[in-house]
């Protein structure tokens, strides 16, 4: 890929090292559990993951930042169109700022398709108009676009164990499907953790037909009612998220050895949020579910042991 020079009027670009450091700092600030897992990777891989994370965060901020939420839908749609065009130019090697610089470097080191990036932007377009999901099929599409795509963006960075290519076909899972499954599992976990926060923005990222099946009305959800119906509903949702994590495990087992431990650590720590929600009695309206730092550190050696097995 040939990097095109920035336009003459562009501000002075940071060095590649400075740009990567900015991505590292942003990842550490906004994705603490995820960041902890990246520290277990070799330098080149973790820097690429930081770059991709920040690109994804920029995409998300087009819709979910405080500033964006005050903007009219038409303006947000224009921003997404502009971001899509800029992404296409980025894959063409055009550099405007530090993030572009590290992304072009990452794409040179780990060539990949533009499609997951365009699909993620399409997920943001869904957020422009769709604030309710009739069923899980609709929600699954949204989860793929805004999070499953991350698995596809990062799979070339992670790499595969050399033994994968010589293993019997029956032992080789579809690693792309597993990567998508992990992204969907993470997004479902986010949704379940953030129900209370999302309702404040008038959004319900839960299947409406399942809410009805468990006897939970939209009014009860908006009021933050935690009763037996809500607990049964949430138990069902948590099990679904755990099932998606389980789907991803077959692929994680075949990752390159230098990526397997950090991905296992991130998977186990993020899945731990579901356990915290359960421990809180499914009250996601008044209690924030997170894994304490001590718990994260204690799980690292366990994740290392699991990562050695296939």
User: How many CA atoms lie less than 13 Å away from 89 in the CB half-sphere?
Assistant: 15
Residue where a domain stops, chosen among 92, 107, 129: 129
> Among 84, 112, 129, which residue terminates a domain?
129
Report DSSP state, residue 71.
S
55 shares a domain with 21: yes
Percent of the chain predicted with pLDDT > 70: 90
Cβ atoms of residues 278 and 18 within 8 Å: no
- Is residue 8 over pLDDT 50? no
pLDDT confidence band for 20 (50 / 70 / 90): very high
42, 151, 201, 301 from 147: Cα distances, Å: 23, 7, 20, 27
- Same domain, yes or no, for 199 and 92? no
Q: Are 61 and 143 found together in one domain?
A: no
Same domain, 81 and 190: no
If one counts the domains in the chain, the total is 2
User: Lowest-confidence range among 183-197, 225-239, 257-271?
Assistant: 257-271
User: What is the arithmetic mean of pLDDT over 149-160?
Assistant: 96
Q: Which of 62, 94, 129 is the last residue of a domain?
A: 129
Asked if 266 and 33 count as a contact pair (C-beta separation under 8 A), the reply is yes
Whether the model pTM is above 0.75: yes
- Which CATH number characterizes residue 26's domain? 1.10.600.10
Task: Give the closest residue to 38 by CA, choosing from 297, 266, 303.
Answer: 266
pLDDT at 228: 98
Residue 260 lies inside a defined structural domain of this protein: yes
Give pLDDT, residue 3.
52
In this structure, the answer to whether residues 92 and 170 fall within a common structural domain is no
Answer yes or no: do 125 and 235 share one domain.
no
Domain of 148 in residue numbering reads as: 131-310
* Tokens matching residue 13: 């670009």
In a domain? residue 234 = yes
Highest mean pLDDT among 144-158, 166-180, 246-260, 292-306: 144-158
């Amino acid at each position: 890929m040939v990097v095109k020079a920035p336009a003459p009027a562009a501000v002075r670009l940071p060095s590649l090292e400075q740009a990567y450091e900015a991505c590292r700092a942003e990842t550490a600030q906004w994705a603490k559990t995820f960041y902890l897992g990246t520290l277990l990777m070799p330098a080149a891989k973790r820097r690429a993951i930081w770059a991709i994370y920040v690109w994804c965060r920029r995409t998300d901020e087009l819709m979910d930042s405080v500033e964006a939420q005050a903007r009219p839908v038409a303006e947000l749609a224009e921003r997404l169109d502009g971001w899509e065009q800029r992404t296409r130019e980025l894959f063409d090697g055009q550099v405007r700022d530090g993030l572009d610089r590290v992304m072009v470097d990452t794409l040179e080191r780990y060539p990949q398709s533009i499609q997951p990036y365009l699909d993620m932007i399409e997920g943001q377009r869904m957020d422009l108009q769709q604030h309710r999901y009739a069923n899980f099929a609709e929600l699954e599409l949204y989860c793929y676009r805004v999070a499953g795509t991350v698995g596809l963006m990062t799979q070339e960075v992670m790499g595969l164990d050399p033994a994968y290519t010589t293993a019997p076909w029956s032992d080789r899972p579809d690693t792309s499907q597993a990567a998508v499954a992990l992204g969907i599992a993470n997004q479902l976990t986010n949704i379940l953790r953030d129900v209370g926060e999302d309702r404040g923005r008038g959004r319900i990222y839960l299947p409406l037909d399942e809410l009805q099946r468990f006897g939970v009305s939209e009014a009860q959800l908006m009021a933050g009612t935690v009763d037996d119906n809500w607990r049964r509903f949430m138990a069902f949702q948590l099990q679904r998220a755990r099932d998606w994590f389980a789907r991803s495990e077959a692929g994680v087992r075949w990752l390159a050895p230098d990526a397997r431990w950090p991905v296992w650590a991130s998977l186990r720590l993020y899945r731990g949020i579901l356990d915290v929600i359960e421990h809180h009695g499914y009250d996601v309206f008044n209690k924030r579910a997170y894994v304490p730092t001590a718990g994260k550190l204690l799980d690292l050696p366990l994740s290392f042991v699991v990562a050695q097995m296939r």
